[in-house]
Chain A
């Protein structure tokens, strides 16, 4: 190793090392990971706030906050049926900063679910899941990784929901695992596997705990690193595709003599001729450091600040200790599953199994359903797609309201009082109606516009509206016995011991 001078142990520990030749300096720079986290230069368009809103950065920052607060909370939490609830009480009451840690963990968990949803909406609405033109670009694969991350985020949140072992946790998990049991043929086995037996108890708690603190975070970390690495491999954010197309049409400039850092160190030669718009078109790009670095820093800081402020304001709820004998009325799943629970109210099979299965599969397949190469990386409202998106949104609004009206005003069992077959009601119910209407929307728009992009876009917008409306209904409009209550109607008062 004549290339590098011998280092003492202290040198190694303190990294107090100075390059002694151009080659050594070049080598150091090329092999430094931190300097290559971001590309050398970035397009101004790519780092604009109003293109990406930095939602991916926000998601990952929240994941980091969750990891740190979660790791500290692990020192105080006991994953046992007898102690779990009381250890949370201690965290809230007497552990220094305990309440703040727990609130931060909870606030950032909810924010992360929201941010992941928004991130997915953003990527879809800018058509950023389409393959780019640079070599090795495969954004459709990165979209699939994104869907995996989305599912992992929901699973992390769901497993964490059980850990306080209070009534909220216990019954949300009861509802969740009972939905899993409605899978045809193997439903009970799936529930058995999730619960670790026939009854929710110590086995369930330890299963969810290990999934929550080891398995799922490790998977999420690995996949998200892959996800971020793929962004570089795919040629950067999708918005750069427009510039790349322009650069391809440009005549290459005359090569000039230059010194470059290569893998082998510094070498002399001529400028490299590339399609990279940041290099070719310098007035439209800026160096990543400091321009992108400061924005990433700013987003990280803003996320931490918002989490801290929300944690200072909002209490983390802790209900009564879990009691299998007393079912809270209504027993509700975590908020992001309440849209599904609303549909489960009509049919557990359709709302709890088939629809989520179909939706996740459909989300994963979106880049393969829509292979059109137009408007990659452009917000939908800047393109003719806008009118189809609006159409889809309105259609989704009307379809959801219709399905809800049917469900609330004319329950299927009262419409068909003579039929007793469960299969009939699994097939004929408002959830199925909504599903059929949204599928029909795809084909209607496809027929009218003969564009798979417009059809997918309309369907996706309908999906967003359905999701929001159903979640709102499940969250705010359903009271005891899952009865319908308007926001201004008071729920019946709940009796207490004294």
Chain B
């Protein structure tokens, strides 16, 4: 009698071989990771470029920087071994020296890591995963590759978003041109009249202090028509034309150029909750920008000057009133100092008639967005007439 079925032995051997073969790619993948190639190339580059290099000092294996206080682990230098070397400026990635040695003086890799400025997935040790161009990693490396999607000719330096997480409390920071431009626009356009920014400001619009914390799911893309379905392009479109994206939006169109819109979008995206970042990483002592004396005076005039009524009721969003030194951020409408002449010329109405029975844009505004009581309307008429007199008197004096 046969002891063992021959067929069973054959199947057994087949699976034994299959099992063994399965381990070839598995061991292969573990024995020769991507970074081994980059490390051996780096040694070749080092010997080629320097005469006195001691290869024993070049580390091997996975390299990591553990920033305990930032809760961050970066393994980028496993492949990017030349970052801190001098003299490899002309070598290609990933072996090159960091292009900005001045910056690196203030931000040594040992204290700041790489991801905190560049983005990416510092934990990973393969190229695509580490650069964050993989599904389910929402902070890709903010290099020109991504920036070119937003402006192919002059890709914006998107990594400034990350820089500004620490630098948000500074008025302007060396090397952060776009964010600086954004900050200037925010001051110029007086965004804090309507929005709470850095914990202070008006309540007409949403609080923007932690706008950068919002995830993509929290934005309404219903009316969005752009190419890139992303938060950044949502903000860019929104800055260019708020009502297009958010129906019934109150926010005025300010005719921003693409560059302005990108700068502002980057700025609002950088407004993250940085309370987890240790204090010593954050420059700027106050939790808000320091105002210049002119700005403080301007704020006082707006709050307490003759035009305070128009600030309180948001008329100034569109209208300047030069008699009261009130400057509109948008100047969408005519100066209210000359309103009595204006309504007569355009509508053949007196100011009283127009305020109580407006037409055109003002009809919509006064019926839906700025609701004034009868007394308030009389107050407005009186104040506009006073402004008119002031301007006319000034003109006479000048003559």
- A contact residues vs B (CB 8 Å cutoff): 86, 89-90, 93-94, 96-97, 100, 166-167, 290-291, 294-295, 297-298, 301-302, 304-305, 308-309, 311-312, 317-320, 323, 325-327, 329, 493-498
Give 7 A-B contacts (CB < 8 Å), ordered by A residue.
A291-B4, A294-B5, A302-B11, A305-B16, A494-B229, A496-B138, A498-B142
Q: Which 6 A-B pairs have the closest CB atoms?
A: A305-B19, A495-B216, A308-B22, A302-B15, A319-B136, A298-B12
B136 proximity list for chain A (CB < 8 A): 166-167, 317-320
Closest residue of B by beta carbon distance from A300: B15
User: Which of B15, B19, B30, B231 meets A96, CB within 8 Å?
Assistant: B30
Q: Closest CB-CB distance, B150 to chain A, in whole Å?
A: 9
A320 proximity list for chain B (CB < 8 A): 136-138
Tell me if B217 and A326 are in contact (CB < 8 A). Answer: yes
Tell me if B62 and A94 are in contact (CB < 8 A). Answer: yes
Verify if B26 is at the interface (C-beta below 8 Å from A).
Answer: yes
User: Which of A89, A319, A497 meets B231, CB within 8 Å?
Assistant: A497
Interchain CA distance A319-B135 in the complex, whole Å: 8
Tell me if A298 and B216 are in contact (CB < 8 A). Answer: no
Tell me if B23 and A496 are in contact (CB < 8 A). Answer: no
Tell me if A497 and B217 are in contact (CB < 8 A). Answer: no
B285 proximity list for chain A (CB < 8 A): none
Interchain CA distance A374-B377 in the complex, whole Å: 95
Interchain CA distance A122-B73 in the complex, whole Å: 50
Tell me if A309 and B22 are in contact (CB < 8 A). Answer: yes
Interchain CA distance A302-B142 in the complex, whole Å: 46
Verify if B184 is at the interface (C-beta below 8 Å from A).
Answer: no
B391 proximity list for chain A (CB < 8 A): none
Interchain CA distance A86-B66 in the complex, whole Å: 13
Instruction: Name the interface residues of B2-61: CB closer than 8 Å to any CB of A.
Output: 3-5, 8-9, 11-12, 15-16, 18-19, 22-23, 25-26, 30
B355 proximity list for chain A (CB < 8 A): none
Q: Closest CB-CB distance, B322 to chain A, in whole Å?
A: 43
A167 proximity list for chain B (CB < 8 A): 136
Verify if B140 is at the interface (C-beta below 8 Å from A).
Answer: yes
Tell me if A308 and B19 are in contact (CB < 8 A). Answer: yes
- B contact residues vs A (CB 8 Å cutoff): 3-5, 8-9, 11-12, 15-16, 18-19, 22-23, 25-26, 30, 62, 73, 75, 123-126, 129, 136-140, 142, 146, 158, 215-219, 221, 229-232, 234, 269
Tell me if A86 and B123 are in contact (CB < 8 A). Answer: yes
A323 proximity list for chain B (CB < 8 A): 215
Tell me if B8 and A93 are in contact (CB < 8 A). Answer: no
A93 proximity list for chain B (CB < 8 A): 75, 123-126, 129
B219 proximity list for chain A (CB < 8 A): 495
Interchain CA distance A241-B232 in the complex, whole Å: 71
Of B9, B19, B230, the most chain A CB neighbours within 10 A belong to: B19
Tell me if B22 and A312 are in contact (CB < 8 A). Answer: yes
Tell me if A308 and B216 are in contact (CB < 8 A). Answer: no
Interchain CA distance A355-B216 in the complex, whole Å: 37
A311 proximity list for chain B (CB < 8 A): 26
Tell me if A301 and B12 are in contact (CB < 8 A). Answer: yes
Closest residue of A by beta carbon distance from B129: A93
B137 proximity list for chain A (CB < 8 A): 320
A301 proximity list for chain B (CB < 8 A): 12, 15-16, 19
Interchain CA distance A294-B4 in the complex, whole Å: 8
User: Which of A304, A326, A496 meets B229, CB within 8 Å?
Assistant: A496
Interchain CA distance A64-B5 in the complex, whole Å: 27
Tell me if A294 and B158 are in contact (CB < 8 A). Answer: no
A496 proximity list for chain B (CB < 8 A): 138, 216, 229-231
B11 proximity list for chain A (CB < 8 A): 298, 302
B216 proximity list for chain A (CB < 8 A): 494-497
Tell me if A326 and B215 are in contact (CB < 8 A). Answer: yes
B5 proximity list for chain A (CB < 8 A): 291, 294
Q: Closest CB-CB distance, B35 to chain A, in whole Å?
A: 11
B217 proximity list for chain A (CB < 8 A): 326-327, 329, 495
A325 proximity list for chain B (CB < 8 A): 215
Q: Closest CB-CB distance, B261 to chain A, in whole Å?
A: 15
Interchain CA distance A401-B15 in the complex, whole Å: 41
B22 proximity list for chain A (CB < 8 A): 305, 308-309, 312
Q: Closest CB-CB distance, B32 to chain A, in whole Å?
A: 13
Interchain CA distance A87-B375 in the complex, whole Å: 66
Q: Closest CB-CB distance, A107 to chain B, in whole Å?
A: 12
Q: Closest CB-CB distance, B276 to chain A, in whole Å?
A: 12
Tell me if A89 and B123 are in contact (CB < 8 A). Answer: yes
A96 proximity list for chain B (CB < 8 A): 30
Interchain CA distance A89-B136 in the complex, whole Å: 12
Q: Closest CB-CB distance, A380 to chain B, in whole Å?
A: 27
A302 proximity list for chain B (CB < 8 A): 11, 15
A166 proximity list for chain B (CB < 8 A): 136
User: Which of A94, A100, A309, A498 meets B18, CB within 8 Å?
Assistant: A309
Closest residue of A by beta carbon distance from B161: A498
Interchain CA distance A319-B136 in the complex, whole Å: 5
Tell me if A497 and B139 are in contact (CB < 8 A). Answer: yes
Closest residue of B by beta carbon distance from A327: B217
Closest residue of B by beta carbon distance from A329: B217
Interchain CA distance A295-B125 in the complex, whole Å: 42
A497 proximity list for chain B (CB < 8 A): 138-139, 215-216, 230-232, 269
B15 proximity list for chain A (CB < 8 A): 298, 301-302, 305
Interchain CA distance A90-B129 in the complex, whole Å: 13
B139 proximity list for chain A (CB < 8 A): 497
B124 proximity list for chain A (CB < 8 A): 89, 93
Interchain CA distance A301-B14 in the complex, whole Å: 10
Q: Closest CB-CB distance, A59 to chain B, in whole Å?
A: 18
Q: Closest CB-CB distance, A147 to chain B, in whole Å?
A: 31
Contacts A305-B19, A498-B140; is A97 near B215 (CB within 8 Å)? Answer: no
Interchain CA distance A309-B23 in the complex, whole Å: 8
Interchain CA distance A422-B231 in the complex, whole Å: 39
Interchain CA distance A38-B185 in the complex, whole Å: 83
Q: Closest CB-CB distance, A88 to chain B, in whole Å?
A: 10
Tell me if B146 and A498 are in contact (CB < 8 A). Answer: yes
Tell me if A498 and B75 are in contact (CB < 8 A). Answer: no
19 new A-B contacts, CB < 8 A, other than A308-B23, A326-B215, are A90-B123, A100-B30, A167-B136, A294-B4, A294-B5, A297-B12, A302-B11, A309-B22, A320-B136, A320-B137, A320-B138, A326-B217, A326-B218, A327-B217, A496-B216, A496-B229, A496-B230, A498-B142, A498-B230
